[in-house]
Amino acid sequence: MVTFSSNPVSWLAFFSLLAGAPLLSGIVNKLKARLSGRFGASVLQPYFDLVRLARKETVYSRSSGFITRVAPVVVWSTTAFTMLLLPVGPFPASISFDGDFILLAYLLGLGRFLQILAALDVASSFEGMGASREARFAVFAEPIFFFTFGSMALVTGRFSLQSIVSGIGWDKPLFPIFMVVSSISIFFLMITECSRMPVDDPNTHLELTMIHEVMILDASGFDLMLYQHAASLKLLLYAFLISSLLNPFGWLNPVAGVALFVGVLVVLVACLAAIETLMARFKWFSSPSSYSTPRSSAYLTFSSSPFHTKAMTNALSILFCLTLMYLAVTTRLWSYVLILVFQGILVAGVYTVSFFENFSATHLIIAGAVLLFRTILIPSYMVKIIRDLDMGHRDRTRRYHPGFLLQISGVIIAALLLSHQFTRMTPVLVIPLGTALAAIFSGGLLIVRRRLLLAHVVGFLIIENGLFLLGVGVKAEMPWVIELGAFLDLFVLVFLMGIAMNHLKSHFPEGAGEDLTTLHD
């Protein structure tokens, strides 16, 4: 049911947002200039630029078609329309309905799509390159947006932006943490989406380095003004989303709400300016990894909503399966170690969530031990082995091979199907159990397929992780002494294997002992 705000302030806010958006960009630019020791242009400079552009003649390239003419209007209007969906501090959004955040995401998506098309339309190779870069970022940005807002919808049980914001119960202890993590991911999303510093540099006009700016190189006059204004609207949109999320007084006390709202905005602007001053632009090839922080925090928020135990266990298990797929495509030793660390966190998470309802000191001890052994002790010991043996960065005996990915995927699917069959015999959670089986099988597959001994140890540890998940999946609770004993066993085993690998080096100085095939009949 679509509700239109009856509060005139909401509509007033909409128009003032449209008018005030360039001011935010101006403030950021000014602050940036001051931080880097320059005096900088006036905060009103964006307005002057917009006016200047509007008065100029619009020139179209002869090779461009109607898309170039339509795109600026669509980009601007979609972005402007999203402002209608935005709750502004204590005031309700102008328009709100269930699932409006999906509309918001896809309005922005439509604008981006048209912009990419327009960039291709002018038939310049530079702009084509910019378009491809923009598209690549868009691919990563979308899941982050939905993981973040999806988990918020899951937590609050509400589905429109405005009701989500108002439904955040600040009295519950877990909400603040949850919201802070969510806003961090939105903040990083803002940096990438609005082409800010570590990802894109809005100030250079060197075609090779730019992402967003290069797409609008051929736009001029009124069209360019629309693009620029839409960009500043987008920045404002994300900034307001964050401040709305972090606003505990929003719906209780308008005065405190407005004050806090502005306060958060100021902090945000300062952060943005500081980041842009302190950091250099990423290399293009490491840019996609700039998404790793928002991505992981988004996954974290999605999976850490302790209000839906089953959903969370499933989400963590699916993430575990993803680490297995990653294992299949990587040949880097460091990735092996990182996968183990990540899996350790996931395993501990699954454990904590599964026993969340009656969490006791025993559970705490075991969860702590899982974290200690699987994310700290064993990985750091493996790092030590890699360093001591001077193994280099790669699993030299193995090149990347797509077949292995196919096999692991097959194993995961088969394990899930098998686990589904188990439900006929005994009540189990299908996805966690399937994940456990998948881990056990893939660990075995890794041992069989890779020849490097370290990879065998990794495979063994993954099997152990799967075993632990299996125990959680069937809810087999052992006394904590026994569990701790099992961890100790595991550590001793890895320790002994490390010693053995150390000795191997003295026997096979060159290859770190990739072949152990002397003994046979």
Q: How many angstroms separate the CA atoms of 442 and 445, rounded? A: 5
Residue with tokens 């877990």: 174
Give the 3-state secondary structure of 305-364. Answer: CCCCHHHHHHHHHHHHHHHHHHHHHCCEHHHHHHHHHHHHHHHHHHHHHHCCCCCCHHHH
Nearest residue (CB) to other proteins, 83 versus 463? 463
Q: 91 forms bridges with which residues in the sheet?
A: 88
CB of 453 to other proteins, least distance (A): 7
Nearest residue (CB) to other proteins, 173 versus 479? 479
Nearest residue (CB) to other proteins, 114 versus 470? 470
Nearest residue (CB) to other proteins, 67 versus 467? 467
- Residues 6 or more apart whose CB falls under 8 angstroms from that of 357 comprise 309
- Residues 6 or more apart whose CB falls under 8 angstroms from that of 389 comprise 501, 502, 505, 512
Nearest residue (CB) to other proteins, 269 versus 440? 440
CB of 385 to other proteins, least distance (A): 14
CB of 489 to other proteins, least distance (A): 4
Q: How many angstroms separate the CA atoms of 19 and 41, rounded? A: 19
Nearest residue (CB) to other proteins, 184 versus 369? 369
Nearest residue (CB) to other proteins, 18 versus 474? 474
CB of 426 to other proteins, least distance (A): 6
Q: Which amino acid is at 404?
A: F
Binding site for other proteins (CB under 8 A): 425-426, 440, 444, 447, 453, 456, 460, 463-464, 467, 470-471, 474, 476, 478-479, 481-482, 485-486, 488-489, 492-493, 496-497, 500, 503-504, 507, 516, 518-519, 521
Nearest residue (CB) to other proteins, 361 versus 482? 482
Q: How many angstroms separate the CA atoms of 192 and 438, rounded? A: 35
Comparing CA positions, the residue from 412, 404, 143 lying closest to residue 297 is 143
Nearest residue (CB) to other proteins, 74 versus 411? 411
Give the single-character DSSP code of 211: S
CB of 447 to other proteins, least distance (A): 8
CB of 508 to other proteins, least distance (A): 8
CB of 463 to other proteins, least distance (A): 6
Both tokens of 95, joined, read: 């328009």
H runs (alpha helix) in 39-124: 45-55, 66-82, 100-121
CB of 497 to other proteins, least distance (A): 6
Q: How many angstroms separate the CA atoms of 452 and 358, rounded? A: 43
Number of H helices and number of E strands within the chain? 19, 2
Nearest residue (CB) to other proteins, 62 versus 424? 424
Residue 255 three-state SS: helix
Comparing CA positions, the residue from 398, 278, 393, 397 lying closest to residue 337 is 393
- Are 149 and 101 spatial neighbours (Cβ–Cβ below 8 Å)? yes
Both tokens of 423, joined, read: 């439900």
CB of 488 to other proteins, least distance (A): 8
Comparing CA positions, the residue from 242, 248, 238, 244 lying closest to residue 176 is 248
CB of 494 to other proteins, least distance (A): 10
